[in-house]
């Protein structure tokens, strides 16, 4: 399990983590596509799945909250950073939740990079013990 580095002002706990299988797949996707990013929207069905894109292919803005950043490099030397974003509206609902991104066999609909690998990202959630209320 790899926890993100908190980036929300005043927070000290990670809000999101990657399973070991997710880290392994992300290293492969990085080698294929270059720098990556995640976005979790508040859509329904596959639209609510965490989506992985080449960094910059999904435009974030004031309607999004960055929940954390990861370094997936094997040596943890800071050379493979991945930012995790969530829509502000979705964050209002999930502000007291810790998320773990995992990968399972299957193919979701959408433009997330793992699809051609016969895999899809999913979210496991649990309540956080210390959550800073969304402002």
| Residue-level pLDDT at 109 | 64
pLDDT digits (tens, 9 = 90+) for 24-70: 999 999 999 999 999 997 766 555 789 999 999 999 999 999 999 99
- pLDDT confidence bin for 75, thresholds 50/70/90: confident
Work out the average pLDDT over 106-132: 83
Complete domains list, the chain, with CATH: 2-127 (2.60.300.12)
* pTM > 0.85: yes or no: yes
Rounded Cα distance between 83 and 67, Å, is 8
More confidently predicted of 130 and 97:
97
């Amino acid at each position: 399990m790899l926890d993100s580095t908190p980036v929300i002002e005043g927070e000290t706990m990670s809000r999101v983590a990657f399973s070991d299988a997710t880290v392994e797949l992300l290293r492969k996707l990085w080698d294929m596509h270059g720098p990556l990013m995640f976005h979790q929207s508040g859509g329904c069905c596959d639209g609510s799945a965490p989506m992985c894109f080449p960094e910059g292919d999904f435009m974030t803005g004031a309607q999004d909250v960055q929940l954390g950043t990861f370094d997936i490099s094997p040596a943890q030397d800071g050379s493979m950073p991945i930012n995790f974003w969530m829509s502000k509206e979705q964050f209002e609902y999930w502000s007291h939740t810790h998320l773990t991104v995992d990968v399972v066999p299957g193919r979701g609909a959408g433009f997330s990079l793992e699809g051609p690998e016969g895999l899809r990202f999913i979210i496991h959630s649990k309540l956080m013990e210390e959550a800073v209320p969304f402002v």
